[in-house]
Amino acid sequence: MELSDIIRSDAVRAGLKVTSKKRLLQELAELAADLDAEVKAGPCLDALQERETLGPTGMGAGVAIPHARLPELDRVIGYFARLEKPVEFEAVDGRPVDLVFMLLAPEEAGAEHLRALARVSRTLRDPAVCEKIRSTDDATAIYTILTEPAASQAA
């Protein structure tokens, strides 16, 4: 699975201005609702917040991968934001986050959801990828960086 299978270029935001984790999740839920008709902002936000109560999705090094399952979806969908300023996210390393990849999946998409999470995690654990993303304010450039095939990211 490549990230280009789950995220579209119009689902990337650069320089998103938010001041809290709650506001960040609200913005991402609204972005999803704006881009995908089957996503409703309120239920999406509720599902994201419920998932966060199980344990924060901040994986460290300034990266978070909030995710939730929504019954109305028929595929895994991704959305990405590079924040203008990092926000507290209760990450495992205690650092605030500035790179956020939200994943939404159908309720029954067990293996597919896990593969998507693993792919996003592998991509955003690469310090070179994160450095490239942090060095640009261009959403199209960020999309290109995110969706480069894994082999070229390692080069």
Taking Cα atoms as reference points, which of 102, 98, 95, 100 lies closest to residue 86?
98
Q: How far apart are CA 12 and CA 94, in angstroms?
A: 25
Which domain covers residue 64, as residue numbers?
3-154
CATH of the domain at 113: 3.40.930.10
Cβ–Cβ < 8 Å for 104, 77 = yes
- What average pLDDT does range 17-21 have in this prediction? 95
What would the pLDDT profile of 95-111 be if each residue is shown by its tens digit? 999 999 999 999 887 78
Q: How many domains does the chain have?
A: 1
Determine which helix (DSSP H) or strand (DSSP E) holds 9, and give its type and residue range: strand 7-16
pLDDT band at 153 (very low <50, low <70, confident <90, very high): very low
Give the model's pLDDT for residue 150.
58
For the annotated catalytic residues, the residue numbers are 67
The average confidence (pLDDT) of the chain is 91
DSSP 15-78: EE--SSHHHHHHHHHHHHHHH-TT--HHHHHHHHHHHHHHS--EEETTEE--EEEETT-SS-EE
